[in-house]
Amino acid sequence: MKETAVLERFIEGKGLRHSKPREQILSVFLSIEQHITIDELWAAVRKKHPGIGYATVYRTLKLFAECGLCSEINFEDGTTRYEHSYGHSHHDHLICTSCGKFFEVVDSEIEKLQERLVKRYGFQLQYHRMNLYGTCRNCRVGIDRRAARTGVPVHSGKGRAAS
């Protein structure tokens, strides 16, 4: 099913109403394959549809989340971001701390071990979030070049451990 159909279905099922702002916001949201903040989405929406207010984007994202089109994630820098979730199965995140690039990753072995870990504590797993922070290859090349020029090594061999 297409995302627009998912939204329509949800709206009809709940006795809500179709509206242009909702279609427009969905269309812009889908066109941006990134994890964005409400502000960023609002800015993007306004470029095409200047009349739309912040509150509408806010409420519409909540609506999308309800019908499974997007989901909210809190990152370590405190920002709340929204990502596409319809047709996207579970994944974790690889985030470059230098350029900010995101990768969506999955490792089925890790997933299995998480289940095992949790069982040892008598838990029943509902969901999890795993964010891995590091430097991507491109950024390291840049860093190494800079280091070569200045003679100052910029990255340690180990990196720091999360507490």
End-to-end CA distance of the chain: 43
The rounded distance, in Å, linking the Cα atoms of 43 and 48 is 9
- Residue from 6, 11, 30, 96 touching DNA (CB under 7 A): that is 11
**123 near its own copies, rule: CB under 8 A:** yes
The rounded distance, in Å, linking the Cα atoms of 77 and 97 is 11
Q: Which long-range contacts (CB under 8 A, 24 or more apart) does 43-51 make?
A: 48/24, 49/21, 49/24
**119 near DNA, rule: CB under 7 A:** no
> Of 10-18, 21-29, 42-50, 135-143, which segment contacts its own copies by CB under 8 A?
135-143
With CB under 5 to 8 Å by kind, the binding choice for 19 among its own copies, DNA, none is DNA
> Of 2-10, 23-31, 52-60, 95-103, which segment contacts its own copies by CB under 8 A?
95-103
Contacts (CB under 7 A) with DNA, residues 38-97: 38-39, 51-56, 58-60, 62, 78-80
With CB under 5 to 8 Å by kind, the binding choice for 54 among its own copies, DNA, none is DNA
With CB under 5 to 8 Å by kind, the binding choice for 18 among DNA, its own copies, none is DNA
Q: E strands of 24-87, at which residues?
A: 70-74, 80-84
> CA 43, 85, 31, 34: dihedral to nearest 10 degrees?
60
**18 near DNA, rule: CB under 7 A:** yes
The contact set with DNA (CB under 7 A) reads 11, 15-22, 37-39, 51-56, 58-60, 62, 78-80
